[in-house]
Chains A and B, each alone.
Chain A
Amino acid sequence: DIQMTQSPSSLSASVGDRVTITCQASQDISNYLNWYQQKPGKAPKLLIYDASNLETGVPSRFSGSGSGTDFTFTISSLQPEDIATYYCQQYDNLPPGGGFTFGPGTKVDIK
Chain B
Amino acid sequence: EPEVTQTPSHQVTQMGQEVILRCVPISNHLYFYWYRQILGQKVEFLVSFYNNEISEKSEIFDDQFSVERPDGSNFTLKIRSTKLEDSAMYFCASSETSGGFYEQYFGPGTRLTVT
Say whether A associates with B: no
Interface of A toward B, CB cutoff 8 Å: none
